Chains A and B, each alone.
Chain A
Amino acid sequence: MKVLLSEEEIPKKWYNILPDLPESLPPPLDKDGNPVKKEDLEVVFAKELIRQEMSDERWIRIPEEVREVYRLWRPTPLFRAVRLERYLKTPARIYYKFESISPAGSHKPNTAVAQAYYNMKEGIERLTTETGAGQWGSALAFGCSMFNLDATIYMVKVSYMQKPFRRILMELWGAEVYPSPSEKTEFGRKILEKDPENPGSLGIAISEAIEDAVTHENTKYTLGSVLNHVLLHQTIIGLEARRQFEEIDDYPDLIVGCIGGGSSFSGLFWPFYYDRVHRNVNVEFLAVEPTACPSVTKGVYTYDHGDTARMTPLLKMHTLGHDFIPPPIHAGGLRYHGMAPTLCLLVKKGIVNARAYNQVEVFDAASIFAKTEGHIPAPEPAHAIKAVIDEAIKCRENGEEKSILFLLCGHGHFDMKAYQDYLEGKLLPYEYPSEEVERSIRRLKELYPWIEF
């Protein structure tokens, strides 16, 4: 069963959570404790985006030109996962908002299109950004192509080599894609001189993209997650979903989403948070992350006045797919180091709950979903699916008729390598140092089943 809206029903405003937060977010402070000034940011970001970043307005108008591009795939359907419910024999009603049908295959174009538009309006001719596996890069390439902007994308070198398909997608939309570290920037050249075989990192790619923007006229930088204005653009998801629930006269009791930088989940739950604050409805929020990168469930939250949100990446060494390193987890989008401060604050206040799963149980859930609902989820939203299945089973045990909503933020068509590893039994819960260890233990077990390991 799916709930569809007409094109006229594409929301006309985004929802900004800042005025409704339980306490105001302190202004961003740099490493040394100095507040970051607007003027600092104007060097790399479009003015309107900075205005949105710091805006107190609750509702921000969506330009008609942006809505027009949204119409290429929006409004996205809201599905009721009847076959999954039946499979789980749960009295719970499971709904999912389906963002996979965007041209880039995920929720990312919601903000890419908006960012490209505002930059175009301000006379910018070229946008730069970084990308790891290519999700954000392809969304921005698409966004730029909609408004005739050039796009330069610095792609972490290992991904550039190992995941050519996303790169080709970006090039099809007209973007220039460089493996980072590259010869294009002074910073990149400096690294290559010292370490010619450097496989790159997100940090290096970010630095290159920013340097490119700073050193060239009419060129700006963009970011695909974490910042308030990015999350703001994503609220179109939740606003549509809320409208769709009205259509079927239901309302979610629990909203679940995966978190990397936090933009997809925020886009889904913010409008319902608005209801919770202003209409006193009862709705719970659950954020799900990988055990391999448990920024919120295990990270230290120190966002307070005079301090900054600093979630130490616990497993930095796992972020690159080097030969000798244990295989990185496959949900690349959730390995992001950053985290939206609004989300951190809401977790700290107990308004959003967080939970972590390892990738093996997550892929088990994804495979159940694929077999019942048909759609192949990306590894990132599969984390949310795992949590939903657990909750639905709980409902079966307690006889609860809960209404559960989650975000299927992207399809897994570019993640076949991950699914292949899963099907071949090569995926490991990340804790294991290497699959070979597992293999040798398995062999020992076969030989001597009575030995306890």
Chain B
Amino acid sequence: MDRILKFLNCYGIDAIEDFERWSRGVKIGFVVNPIAGMGGRVGLKGTDGKYDLALKLGAKPVSNERAFEFLRNLRLNVEIYTCSGEMGERVARMAGYDPNVIYKTNDMTTSEDTKLAVERMRNLDLIVFVGGDGTARDVCEVVGDETPVIGVPSGVKMYSGVFGLNPRACAEVVRFFVRGLTHLELREVVDVDESSLSDDRIVLKIFGYLNVPVVSNFVQGVKRRYGGNLENLMRNFLNIFDRDGVYIFGPGGTVSHIVRSLGFEKTVTGVDVYVKGEFVKDVSERELLSIVDRYDAWIVITPIGGQGFIFGRGNLQISPDVLRRVERSRIIVVSTVDKLRDIDFLRVDTGDEELDRDLEGEIEVLTDVGLLRFFVKA
């Protein structure tokens, strides 16, 4: 049997690849960063090293929910290699897997734990991590571009091009990978250059590359920067701006420019609020909830360049609870045409599938050339 398949392989018929893959079984490393994404809703720009603070501010762990969402949709009988407790074992068992625990840790995990765990997964077929840009950096530091890796997005910042669009899409990518239907691409691992945060722009630094199985439309790209006529965009926004209104401004350079035209200085990575002439910087989910409960607020948001995300990336403060209290028609998406050019769809990944579906469909985008209609997709 083997000999025949090898013979056919001489003629470019690569049945042997499928044969070997399925005969031996696929081994997947699975590591969850249990604190990833916690800082988001309470307005922190990341959770690494700020775990206690996040807890104090009332943050709840989210990544294991995302991990479960991923595993639940995987529907494959693969061998899972993971870490004890909150770093993978618990959720894997919940999803019906009988994982091999190859790294034991106590519940207070650090980035060191991620690295040590991933070190033991180097020889597996694929590593799936649940986390954000910080976790991606840890994984990248250990495996580099050797072992294929895909990230289930569950951080505060997810600007790297190594994440699936959402946990469900990640499951789909892994299913394709197991079937031999993906190709591997070197994708950038980036993170915000902390020293740049005082300026009015987000500067991303490349920390390395991961080898990512890619299925187009399932894996997000890396954040990019764009030009375009911001003056026009600012003018267009002023035309529709109501001085007596209430506005929630999402993060990003584009929104910062618009806010500046109103006479305020915006935090680039935070969510700020304008309430009838007052400007409040860097608000948390709780504060946003009290605002949307009291007023008919507008949300001004810009897609992440190259990725298209409007909710669920870098602005977790605008949580599903907040979004549900704001009418869809009161979401103002702003962008230069330049930035839109590289985006197929506007994306949402709020962590709440039903809400994501409600947000889908056509939406108008305010651009430097006027209103354009675009599609929102989960």
Give A residues with C-beta under 8 Å from B: 28-32, 36, 40-41, 43-44, 187, 190-191, 193-199, 201-204, 206-207, 210-211, 214, 221, 223, 226-227, 295, 308-311, 313, 316-317, 319-320, 322, 324-326, 336-341, 433-434, 436-437, 440, 443-444, 447-448, 451, 453
Contacts and interface: CB of A to CB of B under 8 A. Distances in A.
Residue among A202, A210, A227, A311 with the highest chain B CB neighbour number at 10 A: A210
B253 to A, nearest CB: 22
Interface residues of B, number: 50
Given A198-B179, A337-B13, A324 B374 contact: no
A440 B176 CA distance: 26
Q: Nearest 8 pairs between A and B by C-beta? A: A203-B18, A30-B6, A206-B15, A338-B13, A203-B15, A28-B10, A40-B3, A338-B12
Given A36-B3, A190-B22, A440 B375 contact: yes
Contacts of A339: 11-12
A338 B180 contact: no
Given A41-B7, A187-B23, A201 B179 contact: yes
A204 B22 contact: yes
Interface string B211-252: 000011110000000000000000000000000000000000
B9 interface: yes
Nearest to A308: B10
A193 B6 CA distance: 25
A313 B11 CA distance: 12
A76 to B, nearest CB: 27
A311 B17 CA distance: 14
B22 A31 contact: no
A203 B216 contact: no
A341 B12 CA distance: 9
A451 B1 contact: no
Given A204-B22, A448-B372, A29 B10 contact: yes
Contacts of A29: 10
Interface string B1-31: 1011111111111111111001101100000
Nearest to B341: A453
Given A187-B22, A203-B17, A194 B76 contact: yes
Given A337-B14, A448-B369, A190 B182 contact: no
A411 B55 CA distance: 68
14 contacts: A44-B4, A187-B22, A197-B75, A202-B15, A204-B18, A207-B19, A211-B1, A317-B215, A324-B215, A338-B11, A338-B13, A340-B11, A433-B216, A434-B216
A194 B9 contact: no
Nearest to B76: A195
A195 B372 CA distance: 43
Contacts of B26: 194
Contact of A451 (B7, B23, B369, B373): B369
Interface in B144-189: 172, 175-176, 178-183
Given A190-B23, A194-B77, A437-B344, A36 B14 contact: no
Nearest to B337: A451
Given A187-B22, A317-B215, A444-B372, 17 more contacts: A28-B7, A29-B10, A36-B6, A36-B10, A40-B7, A41-B4, A44-B4, A191-B22, A195-B175, A197-B75, A206-B13, A221-B4, A317-B181, A324-B217, A325-B215, A433-B216, A448-B370
Contacts of B216: 326, 433-434
A191 B25 CA distance: 9
Nearest to B14: A337
Contact of B12 (A207, A309, A316): A309
Given A187-B19, A226-B12, A324-B217, A194 B181 contact: no
A193 B374 CA distance: 42
B78 interface: yes
B345 interface: yes
Given A210-B1, A211-B1, A448-B372, A36 B7 contact: yes
A322 B173 CA distance: 12
Given A40-B3, A187-B22, A317-B181, A30 B9 contact: yes
Contact of B14 (A30, A197, A199, A313): A313
A427 to B, nearest CB: 18
B359 to A, nearest CB: 17
Contacts of A326: 216
A101 B217 CA distance: 42
Contacts of A316: 180-181, 183
